[in-house]
Amino acid sequence: MRSKALRWLLFALLASAISLTILYRDHIDAGALQQWVEQAGPAAPLLFMVIYAIGTVLFLPGSVMTLAGGALFGPVLGTFYNLTGATIGAVLAFLIARFFTSNWVEQKTGGHLKRLKEGVENEGWRFVAFVRLVPLFPFNLLNYALGLTRIPLLHYLIATYLCMLPGAIAYTYLGYAGREAVAGGEGLIQKVMLALALLAVVAFLPRLIGRLRQGPTMNIDALRERLNKEDELLLLDVRTANDYQDKLGHIVGSLNIPLEELESRLAELTPYLEKPVALICTTDRRSKKAAQILGSQGFADVHVVIGGMTQWNKNALPVHTTTETSDHLREIQ
């Protein structure tokens, strides 16, 4: 009982500290923080990393800290200190979430949320790497959310440190360039342009990774062969419900999720994060858009069926023209 009471007290203190930090975050003076760190002398890097780690746990904006690190320590050392401080904070938040609530989550989670959690755990370090490179959720919140899973701590730490590097380099250099702009340093235009180029690269990462994860295209013959041989393949039809039942019909065993609903129903597809998904529509236009969505959300083996149901019908292959419930997805759930 005493241990449980102590845990609740610690949780209440942490929640209060986070609430106060969020409430007064707009009053934080970045200039005063930089001055305070500079006055620490040789201990400045260590003090900065400690502040960054605590700020991460308490939901301070990481971008502000990263810019400050670049201004204080330059592009090279600043990147190292920023990345190390952010990773320490991320690990602390991960461990705090696991200490306080992981057992409760294991007992209470069910339905779609349980399947989503299991899908993330099956992805493991790959999921951590993906969301660090392509930030789908706020950084501070994600640290706590991942602590609710059974992803190994070492995998989480390594993937976090390595995959936050591109963003850390870009924002650290931006902070450095900002300091140079204020000080009127030499080569200012080149430094600003380089900072903007680094930010552009980071901004392009989600689209690039999404394209890399789309996988190759698939023709009708290849689709038919894989449907006959491969039980794990999900055939996802992204046409509207009316088109799914229309004269072109649909393929037996396919799952119909219209493109317009795909993003809101991604939790239903979590079991297929690392399994093959074939996308089909009337031609292949909607399928290509769906592939971009799935690729950017971490699905690793996505294929666009070229020609779609139009080509399937031209090949005189069997179709159904009435809606049938797909048992394919349900079998693995």
Range among 2-6, 17-21, 131-135, 140-144 rated most confident: 140-144
Same domain, 97 and 155: yes
Same domain, 230 and 159: no
Is residue 204's pLDDT more than 80?
Answer: no
Same domain, 194 and 238: no
Same domain, 46 and 153: yes
**Both tokens assigned to 259:** 């493109």
Same domain, 190 and 145: yes
Q: Is 12 within the bounds of a domain?
A: yes
Is residue 332's pLDDT more than 50?
Answer: no
Q: Is 304 within the bounds of a domain?
A: yes
Q: Is 236 within the bounds of a domain?
A: yes
CA separation, residue 138 to residues 77, 98, 132, 173, 188 (Å) = 25, 18, 10, 21, 32
Amino acid at 264: S
- CATH of residue 318: 3.40.250.10
The last residue of a domain, from among 207, 232, 256:
207
The pLDDT assigned to 271 comes to 84
Which band of pLDDT confidence, cut at 50, 70 and 90, is reported for residue 2?
low
Mean pLDDT of 108-115: 64
Same domain, 15 and 141: yes
Q: Classify residue 103 as exposed, middle or buried by CB count within 10 Å of its CB (0-12, 13-18, 19+).
A: exposed
Contact criterion met (CB below 8 Å) for 87 and 161: yes
Contact criterion met (CB below 8 Å) for 271 and 115: yes
Same domain, 257 and 194: no
Overall domain count for the chain? 2
Render pLDDT for 143-193 as a digit per residue (tens, 0 to 9).
998 998 889 999 999 999 998 998 899 889 888 888 777 666 556 556 666
Same domain, 193 and 45: yes
Q: Is 266 within the bounds of a domain?
A: yes
Which band of pLDDT confidence, cut at 50, 70 and 90, is reported for residue 115?
low
3-state SS of 164-221 is: CHHHHHHHHHHHHHHHHHHHCCCCHHHHHHHHHHHHHHHHHHHHHHHHHCCCCEECHH
Distance separating alpha carbons of residues 115 and 162, to the nearest angstrom: 28
Q: Is 151 within the bounds of a domain?
A: yes
The pLDDT assigned to 117 comes to 74
Render pLDDT for 43-98 as a digit per residue (tens, 0 to 9).
999 999 999 999 999 998 888 889 899 999 999 999 999 999 999 999 999 999 98
Same domain, 127 and 240: no
The pLDDT assigned to 230 comes to 67
Q: Of 108-112, 211-215, 234-238, which gets the smallest average pLDDT?
A: 211-215
Same domain, 140 and 268: no
The last residue of a domain, from among 180, 207, 234:
207
The pLDDT assigned to 48 comes to 94
CA separation, residue 45 to residues 40, 72, 173 (Å) = 9, 9, 17
Q: Is 163 within the bounds of a domain?
A: yes
Mean pLDDT of 270-286: 90
Contact criterion met (CB below 8 Å) for 25 and 56: no
The pLDDT assigned to 287 comes to 94
Is residue 210's pLDDT more than 70?
Answer: no
Contact criterion met (CB below 8 Å) for 82 and 118: no
Contact criterion met (CB below 8 Å) for 310 and 317: no
Could you list the residue range(s) of the whole structural domain that residue 304 is in? Answer: 217-332
Distance separating alpha carbons of residues 238 and 35, to the nearest angstrom: 56
Nearest by Cα to 259 from 235, 299, 286: 286
Contact criterion met (CB below 8 Å) for 159 and 129: yes
Is residue 331's pLDDT more than 50?
Answer: no
**Both tokens assigned to 208:** 């690039």
**Both tokens assigned to 69:** 């690190």
Is residue 205's pLDDT more than 90?
Answer: no
Is residue 118's pLDDT more than 80?
Answer: no
Task: Give the number of residues written for the chain.
Answer: 333
Same domain, 157 and 285: no
Q: Is 212 within the bounds of a domain?
A: no
Amino acid at 86: A
The DSSP secondary-structure symbol of 320 reads B
Same domain, 198 and 239: no
The pLDDT assigned to 76 comes to 94
Render pLDDT for 11-53 as a digit per residue (tens, 0 to 9).
888 889 888 888 877 777 767 777 888 888 899 999 999 999 9
Distance separating alpha carbons of residues 83 and 53, to the nearest angstrom: 10
CA separation, residue 168 to residues 86, 171, 290 (Å) = 9, 5, 30
Render pLDDT for 229-250 as a digit per residue (tens, 0 to 9).
866 899 999 999 999 988 899 9
**Which H/E stretch holds residue 304?**
strand 301-305
The last residue of a domain, from among 188, 207, 226:
207
Contact criterion met (CB below 8 Å) for 222 and 304: no
Q: Is 19 within the bounds of a domain?
A: yes
Render pLDDT for 310-327 as a digit per residue (tens, 0 to 9).
999 999 999 987 644 444
Mean pLDDT of 92-109: 79
